[in-house]
Amino acid sequence: MSYPVEKSDEEWQAVLSKEQFRVLRKQGTEAPYTGKYDKHMPSEGVYTCAGCDAPLYKASHKFKSGCGWPAYFDNIPGAVTRHTDSTLGMQRTEIVCSNCGGHLGHVFKGEGYPTPTDERHCVNSVSMKFSPEDKIVDKAQAQPAGTQTAEGSQPTESKV
């Protein structure tokens, strides 16, 4: 799949830490309860992709799941793309940044959390950065300038 931001492994390694590269570009997972955003519960702000700065989640999407990784019940519209992940002998739904394809984590449904979507986006802290300012007003602002697709449309979330 192609994304608006495309870089070689060498280019990604030049701008990401070793751990960010391992998780974002090689589909790694950080150890549970070690990420800086696991227990981070701001009342406002936005989490952006550590690879390309695209807005991913609002602080208001975050909830306490106790799983050891930051958990969100929803994402900013169009910011996250879903793929089927059949690694590790199971079928899961991988979530990636719609702007650069960076691996964020996985989404799980039907776990019974009292959230509006009954989904848990289990995201690696190292895949994100946080800004206390929430500048996302509508979907048109969800993508950074110059990241529209070739047809001029915004990336859309694929359903599994």
Catalytic residue chosen out of the listed positions 49, 97, 100, 122: 122
Burial 35-52 (b: 16+ CB within 10 A, else e): bebbeeebeebbbbbbbb
Question: Do residues 74 and 116 make contact, with C-beta atoms less than 8 angstroms apart?
Answer: yes
Asked if 97 is an active-site residue, the reply is no
Nearest one of 14, 19, 72, 27 to 47, comparing CA atoms: 72
Residues identified as active-site: 122
